[in-house]
């Protein structure tokens, strides 16, 4: 696959949310607004790129039977690193995303990419794969966030263009599932053309 | 691709990875400890600046017992008290910082942390018409309770429980103030 | 009384899947058949409760005294991963029939964020059962973990029942599979919203 293909495949062909359907918990929980979705996506991308790079470096020397625990330790290390950095420099964002930052450890996208791609490919390609999938994830979360924010609060990225309240259900739990479901329908419809 | 497993290299690689990772994290932790503390201090400072008219130096956090519950507060000389008041909201704990001037009037309130429903109770952070009614409130003259309970606080639409909790937090802070001014 | 509030709140009001969005991937992954959904629920119940107790103790007697709470994430995930392995080995030895029923789900549970999520919630968040906000003690944490995982099982089994019915219906092509599943969960979540405010 070309270098360009590695970066763009996350958008459509291997979109982590709509095609691979992975990492659903943060996708549903943190997309109450466009900004939150974007921040969560970027946080995941940070871990994804770094863990992909390190895992592609160490994969050849890690014994087969313990490769999963080793990968998990590597991923958990980067997640903790991210937690510390966020607490120090963007404490408000850290507070908003809350539990879902440490839960990046068990995001199946991260371990999935480590296992399926980084352990078999070169460092450069793995980094590009991390960027590509990361962009795909970030964009999906932002789109879901935008839809939920428009319907639920009548605003985009905090800019309010409809006075009064939106349909509250879209900010609450049911809206997350419904919006993801209908966006997936739309995605299927468009992608299959 | 991956190396063949035997007991020695499995144990060795796991130990090595754990050692390297914990050493790395220990180092980063030491590096970020100061910025994290600064960030928390900055948050406290900006909260105090919002709830009290003026403060110049960072006051010390102090503790007091009122009615069996323990409260923490900042004493800002010449300005008033910033009391941290925690109550049970709709979705979980609701923590406010309440500024009370030396004249005994509520100066302003700010939410420190909450777990209220987004779009409903969570409005207690943003709804200006709700928050601003506490500015300049004199708890000695006007009763701190929502209108449904016979007080004068207008609740956030469809979020009576959150509004009630918020009001109770302000009332608790006022009790702390009474106790503090008594002691002086 | 307080335990009752914890149980009702954890199962219905703050249902782990439908209100907190934890463990959604396995929730969708293994809910197409009622029997597998039941098996998975049992395994999750077991692991969440056990993992919460163990991580609670590790946090209280090891991480907090040593000032290492920033290592919570990494320590907890390692504990959970090894716990799952131990459970698998022990189960294989002492109860082969139970192992047959739960065995295939066990490896999947390590990456179920419900397990890590509950373990982290219990040691970092203040809860408001009863009339004051406080950190949970060991007894409360155990009951909370058990009730939460029962809520997971309840949601999963209900959903599996719906999905079995759904499989026989004629849904529009673009809705087939996961999209209609998501919309169904959305409606279920709406129903569960009706419980909010009862405790």
Work out how many domains chain A is built from and give that number.
1
Residue C179 contacts A where some CB pair is shorter than 8 Å: yes
User: pLDDT tens, A148-168?
Assistant: 999 988 888 888 888 777 888
Selecting from C70, C131, C132 the residue whose C-beta is nearest the C-beta of B29 gives C70
Q: Which residues of B touch A67 (CB under 8 A)?
A: 2
| Contact call for residues A145 and A37 (beta carbons, < 8 A) | yes
Chain B residue with minimum CA distance to C132: B88
List the one residue out of A108, A176, A118, A142 whose CA is nearest residue A35.
Answer: A142
Q: Is residue A118 part of a domain?
A: yes
List the one residue out of C33, C37, C36 whose CA is nearest residue C17.
Answer: C37
Measured CA to CA, the distance from residue A152 to residue A156 in angstroms comes to 10
Chain A residue with minimum CA distance to C24: A25
The residues near A91 (Cβ < 8 Å, ≥ 6 apart) are: B36, B39, B40, B43
- Count of CB contacts below 8 A, A vs C? 120
- Interface contact flag, B25 C71, Cβ < 8 Å: yes
> B 94-123 residues with CB below 8 A of A?
113, 117-120
Measured CA to CA, the distance from residue B70 to residue B130 in angstroms comes to 27
Measured CA to CA, the distance from residue A92 to residue B144 in angstroms comes to 30
> A 110-129 residues with CB below 8 A of C?
111
ipTM of model: 0.88
Touching partners of B (3+ C-beta pairs < 8 Å): A, C
Measured CA to CA, the distance from residue C8 to residue C11 in angstroms comes to 5
Residue B150 contacts A where some CB pair is shorter than 8 Å: no
User: pLDDT tens, A32-47?
Assistant: 999 999 999 999 999 9
What's residue C130's pLDDT?
67
Report the DSSP beta bridge partners of residue C52: none
Measured CA to CA, the distance from residue C126 to residue A139 in angstroms comes to 33
Which two three-digit tokens encode residue A69? 């625990």
Touching partners of C (3+ C-beta pairs < 8 Å): A, B
Task: State the pTM of this model.
Answer: 0.89
Q: What's chain B's average pLDDT?
A: 87
Q: Tell me which of A95, A104, A173, A189 to substitute to probe the interface with C (most C C-beta atoms closer than 10 Å).
A: A173
User: pLDDT tens, B57-92?
Assistant: 777 888 888 877 888 999 888 888 899 999 988 888
Show the domain range for A71.
3-144
């Amino acid at each position: 696959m070309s270098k360009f293909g590695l970066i763009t495949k996350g958008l459509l062909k291997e979109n982590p949310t709509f095609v691979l359907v992975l990492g659903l918990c943060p996708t549903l929980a943190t997309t109450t607004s466009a900004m939150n979705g974007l921040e969560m996506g970027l946080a995941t991308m940070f871990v994804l790129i770094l863990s992909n790079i390190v895992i592609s470096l160490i994969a050849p020397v890690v014994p087969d039977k313990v490769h999963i625990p080793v990968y998990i330790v590597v991923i958990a290390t980067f997640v903790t690193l991210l937690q510390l950095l966020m607490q120090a420099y963007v404490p408000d964002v850290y507070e908003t995303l809350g539990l879902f930052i440490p839960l990046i450890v068990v995001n199946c996208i991260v371990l999935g990419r480590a296992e399926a791609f980084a352990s078999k490919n070169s460092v450069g390609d793995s980094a590009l794969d991390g960027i590509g999938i990361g962009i795909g994830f970030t964009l999906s979360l932002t789109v879901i966030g935008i839809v939920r924010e428009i319907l639920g609060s009548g605003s985009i990225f905090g800019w309010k263009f409809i006075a009064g309240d939106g349909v509250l259900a879209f900010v609450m739990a049911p809206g997350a599932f419904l919006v993801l479901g209908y966006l997936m329908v739309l995605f299927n419809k468009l992608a299959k053309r | 691709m991956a190396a063949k497993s035997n007991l020695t290299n499995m144990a060795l690689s796991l130990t090595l990875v754990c050692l390297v990772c914990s050493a790395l994290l220990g180092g980063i932790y030491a590096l970020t400890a100061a910025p994290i503390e600064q960030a928390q201090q900055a948050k406290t400072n900006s909260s105090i600046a919002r709830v009290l008219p003026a403060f110049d130096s960072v006051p010390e956090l102090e503790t007091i017992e009122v009615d069996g519950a323990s409260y923490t507060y900042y004493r800002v000389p010449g300005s008033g008290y910033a009391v941290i008041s925690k109550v049970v909201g709709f979705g979980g704990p609701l923590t406010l910082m309440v500024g009370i001037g030396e004249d005994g009037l509520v100066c302003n309130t700010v939410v420190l942390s909450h777990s209220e429903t987004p779009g409903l109770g969570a409005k207690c952070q943003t709804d200006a018409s709700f928050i601003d009614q506490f500015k300049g409130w004199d708890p000695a003259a006007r009763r701190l309770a929502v209108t449904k309970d016979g007080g004068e606080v207008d609740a956030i639409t469809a979020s009576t429980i959150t509004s009630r909790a918020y009001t109770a937090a302000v009332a608790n802070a006022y009790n702390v103030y009474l106790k503090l001014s008594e002691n002086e | 009384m307080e335990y009752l509030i914890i149980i009702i709140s954890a199962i219905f009001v703050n249902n782990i899947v439908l209100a907190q969005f934890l463990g959604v991937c396995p929730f969708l992954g293994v809910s197409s058949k009622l029997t597998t959904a039941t098996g998975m629920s049992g395994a999750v119940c077991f692991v969440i409760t056990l993992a919460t107790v163990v991580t609670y103790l590790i946090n209280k007697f090891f991480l907090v005294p040593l000032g290492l709470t920033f290592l919570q994430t990494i320590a907890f995930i390692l504990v959970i991963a090894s716990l799952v392995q131990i459970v698998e080995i022990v189960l294989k030895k002492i109860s082969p029939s139970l192992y047959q029923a739960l065995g295939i789900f066990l490896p999947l549970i390590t990456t179920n964020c419900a397990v890590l999520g509950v373990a982290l919630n219990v040691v970092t968040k203040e809860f408001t059962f009863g009339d004051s906000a406080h950190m949970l003690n060991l007894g409360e944490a155990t009951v909370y973990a058990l009730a939460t995982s029962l809520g997971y099982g309840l949601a999963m089994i209900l959903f599996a029942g719906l999905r079995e019915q759904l499989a026989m219906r004629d849904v529009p092509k673009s809705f087939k599979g996961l999209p209609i599943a998501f919309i169904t969960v959305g409606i279920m979540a709406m129903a569960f919203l009706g419980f909010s405010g009862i405790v």
